[in-house]
Amino acid sequence: MLNPYIDTYRDSKRIQEAFNAIHTLSKQLKMPLKIMEVCGGHTHTIMKYALPQLLPSNITFTHGPGCPVCVMPKHRIDCAYKIAKQSDVILVTLGDMIKVPGSYGSLQNARAEGLDVRFVYSPLDVLKIAQENPTKRVVYFAIGFETTAPMSAALLERAIANGLDNVLIHCNHVLVPPPLFNILSDRDCQINALLAPSHVSVITGANIYKPLLEHFKIPIVVCGFEPLDVAESLLSILKQAINATPKIEIQYARLVTPQGNTKAQQMVQKYFCLEDSFEWRGLGVIPHSSLRLKNEFSTFDAGIVFKEFLGGIAKEEHKNCLCGEILKGKNLPTDCKLFGKACTPKNPLGSCMVSSEGACAAYYKYQGV
């Protein structure tokens, strides 16, 4: 029976037909399908509409590292905290990032201590803050995957055009393919299909997944965020698996193309280049998996400007927190001893509970304890 949360949805009949087809075709599978939905937005759709309950037993979801807040390691938050402690600094970041705990507490705690930490809805809001505070250095704590990097580039371009030399960027933009390659390369990995992120793919295009397809030969479908999008994508993955014809498909064709947004890509390439290495929460150091400002823009790079203040080693994560294993797709939030007990949205101990896109937050909101 179709989940009652979807019964009134405008596409309920098409969703029902898709899941009926999935149940019928699943009998032809030679081995179980373990599908990683990379994006935290997909995780929330899947949990909100209880889609795992509609699947046959040989098809399961696992959750991936597609939440930029979740994958941010403690030492990057610690760097932002230390930058914010400088007397002439206003630190600016996006909503969820302000709540993620670092070694010294969260940036929200830093603000409560009197440091000038602000959150904005758009990176371009930084320009107004810089204009209104010419004697302050306004540091934007830039996070996100390929989706948000063009906005950081646009911020820098406008700051330069307006002569705002008091705007700095603490760059923490990361890329989707490298951590997926890392996860799928694990010899114990059982993931054999991907629901690729849609918003990232709007910018990058679906072609960025070609190396993953060529190396791992698994179905990859770029999926939208509606329940019908997920149902159609699952059906596409299932048909590919049955026919042993893995390929990249774009279910989210209303916004995603193979090439992506080339203008946005050019903007990013103008100001950013690959960082040699980046430490991901739960995944460790992954070479060439993040962006940094090009050398010619080093005067705007907070990591360089404040280098002398950014030493030290971050404290280890809580020993019972499973965020790292959840981001690898090895555990579910409910496997964690802290979930729903010591760790809740009001008292988050791990990044997967802090972020509005985190898997733990999704389980807590839609499934309960």
User: pLDDT per residue over 96-112, tens digit each?
Assistant: 788 888 888 889 999 99
Domain 4-66+177-250 shares a fold with domain 74-174+290-309: yes
Average model confidence (pLDDT) across the chain: 92
Q: Rounded distance, CA 324 to CA 18, Å?
A: 33
Q: Per residue in 91-113, is it b (16+ CB within 10 Å) or e — as a string?
A: bbbbebbbbbbbebebbebbbee
pLDDT of residue 318: 74
Rounded to 10 degrees, what is the CA torsion of 220, 352, 34, 181? 50
Question: 91: part of which helix (H) or strand (E)?
Answer: strand 89-94
Q: Interior CA angle at 117 toward 116 and 118, to 5°?
A: 120
**Across 214-219, average pLDDT:** 98
- Give 164's contacts (C-beta < 8 A, 6+ positions apart): 127, 130, 131, 158
Q: Rounded distance, CA 288 to CA 368, Å?
A: 38
Alpha-helical runs (H) found in the chain:
4-7, 12-26, 40-48, 74-84, 107-112, 125-132, 149-161, 177-185, 198-204, 210-216, 227-243, 262-271, 302-305, 323-327, 351-354, 359-366
The fold of 4-66+177-250 is: Rossmann fold (3.40.50)
Q: State pTM to two decimals.
A: 0.91
Q: Rounded distance, CA 92 to CA 129, Å?
A: 9
Q: Tell which residue, 107, 100, 55, 101, has the closest CA to residue 83.
A: 107
pLDDT band at 3 (very low <50, low <70, confident <90, very high): low
pLDDT of residue 283: 87
Q: Tell which residue, 169, 134, 126, 135, has the closest CA to residue 149.
A: 169
pLDDT of residue 8: 45
The fold of 74-174+290-309 is: Rossmann fold (3.40.50)
Q: Tell which residue, 301, 289, 268, 274, has the closest CA to residue 150.
A: 268
* Six-digit token string for 12: 């309920």
pLDDT band at 1 (very low <50, low <70, confident <90, very high): very low
27-63 per-position pLDDT tens digit: 999 999 999 999 999 999 999 999 999 999 999 999 9
304-353 per-position pLDDT tens digit: 999 988 877 666 777 889 988 998 888 999 999 999 999 998 888 888 99
Q: Tell which residue, 68, 59, 76, 60, has the closest CA to residue 40.
A: 68
Give the 3-state secondary structure percentages of the chain, helix then strand then coil, rounded to 5. 45, 20, 35
Q: Rounded distance, CA 257 to CA 171, Å?
A: 27
131-179 per-position pLDDT tens digit: 999 999 999 999 999 999 999 999 999 999 999 999 999 999 999 999 9
pLDDT of residue 193: 98
What are the Cα distances from residue 156, in Å, to 86, 293, 302?
A: 22, 10, 12
**Residue pointed to by tokens 């959840």:** 326
The DSSP bridge partners found for residue 103 are 105
Contact 118, 237 (CB under 8 A): no
Q: Tell which residue, 288, 272, 313, has the closest CA to residue 79.
A: 313
Q: Rounded distance, CA 303 to CA 80, Å?
A: 9
Judge whether residue 6 has pLDDT over 70. Answer: no
Contact 170, 178 (CB under 8 A): no
- Report the SS3 class of residue 59: strand
Q: Tell which residue, 86, 72, 70, 6, has the closest CA to residue 38.
A: 70
Tell me the domain boundaries of the chain: 4-66+177-250, 74-174+290-309, 323-366
174-186 per-position pLDDT tens digit: 999 999 999 999 9
